[in-house]
Amino acid sequence: MRILTVILKRVLQLAVLALLVTSASFLLSSLIPGDFFSAQELDPTIRRQTIDQIRHRYGLDQPLLVQYGRWLGRCVQLDLGDSLFYQRPVRGIVLDALAKTLWMGIPALLLGMLGGIFLGAMHALNRNNFFGLALDLLSTVALALPTLVLGLGALLLAAHTHWFPLGSMGSASLQDPRFLAWFADRIHHLLLPVACLTLPILAYVERIQCAALIDLLNAPYVRAARARGLAQRHIFLHYQLRPSLNPILSTSGPLLGSILSGSLVLEVIFAWPGLGQVTLNALFSRDLSLVIGCVVGSTILLVAGNLLADILLLTLDPRTRVAGGAI
């Protein structure tokens, strides 16, 4: 029951966010002088009437409110309009780009979360010896490294050692028709961007997980369990690790936003045709419907991430299932 409420809440949130974001984008875009065809006005070989006709065809000569109303009407039918730059439906472009961003983002998120939880647990258990100190130092350095520096550093490594390709999603010159060869090539191109995206997440999750677990190491109920003679392994897994996952799961929603921001920079560095690149191109070419499509895409991704985090939290931490429980 509780899960249904949470899903409903998130879907409502998505609707409100999307409405706000799109109306804000439309409003903001009206403040900027010029539109997609302004550049063509400078071209003396194109007649003024032609440009006006094209504007009329795309409805760009209509008042803003009319444009927004039309856009909303089509949006309800899951049609985000056409991109003027690519001459294709926005929905297809955004879904394509989103898939490419997730191709990099999901492995990074999984590795970062699982690895971070593991390392955080190791850190909490070894906090007084050399291993803990090393982890502490490493996570401090990793947290201070911005994605930009990390990405360019990785590119430097790739350029000097030739171990990794210099960006893009796959080799265009790949001749081997077998699926396995294609897949291996993709993975080879994926390694560096994912490593750069994972490292900050890993350090962040490690920090939070370690702090959460340390709080539980000597909690009264843990001592009680130990006094009853439960196995150390059982205590750790069920009494300490499971409840300690709460903080990291409740902060993992915003983490997805930071992945989107981080992957934008990495997409530029590694020439990765994901959502960030598409958004930047749309911004530069003043392709309004595509900009809004990208914003909607990233909003959906964010809300979906939050929803997933909520569901995980509800399944893993029974305390949150009680009515009025913290979520």
Asked if 72 touches other proteins (CB under 8 A), the answer is no
Asked if 155 touches other proteins (CB under 8 A), the answer is yes
In 218-241, which ranges are continuous DSSP H helix? 220-227, 232-234
Query: CB–CB of 234/286 below 8 Å?
Result: no
CA distance 276 to 247: 29
Q: How many residues in total does the chain contain? A: 327
CA distance 81 to 37: 17
Query: Which of 25, 198, 240, 252 touches other proteins by CB under 8 A?
Result: 25
Residue 28 vs 64, nearer CB to other proteins: 28
Residue 195 tokens, joined: 């490593």
Asked if 244 touches other proteins (CB under 8 A), the answer is no
Output the CA torsion 110→111→114→115 (10° steps).
Answer: -170
Query: Which of 3, 11, 28, 187 touches other proteins by CB under 8 A?
Result: 28
Interacting stretch for other proteins, rule CB under 8 A, among 68-76, 92-100, 151-159, 315-323? 151-159
Asked if 265 touches other proteins (CB under 8 A), the answer is yes
Asked if 18 touches other proteins (CB under 8 A), the answer is no
Residue 7 vs 156, nearer CB to other proteins: 156
CA distance 158 to 137: 25
User: Could you tell me how many residues of this chain bind other proteins (CB under 8 A)?
Assistant: 40
Burial of 99 (0-12, 13-18, 19+ CB in 10 A): exposed
Residues 266-305 that bind other proteins (CB under 8 A): 268-269, 279-280, 283, 291, 294-295, 298-299, 302
- What is the residue whose two structure tokens read 């971070």? 116
Can you say whether the dihedral through the CA atoms of 286, 272, 253, 297 is positive or negative? positive
Query: Which of 122, 125, 143, 312 touches other proteins by CB under 8 A?
Result: 143
Judged by the rule CB under 8 A, the positions of this chain that interact with other proteins are 17, 20-21, 25, 28, 31-32, 136, 140, 143-146, 148-149, 152-153, 155-156, 159-160, 166, 254, 257-258, 260-261, 264-265, 268-269, 279-280, 283, 291, 294-295, 298-299, 302
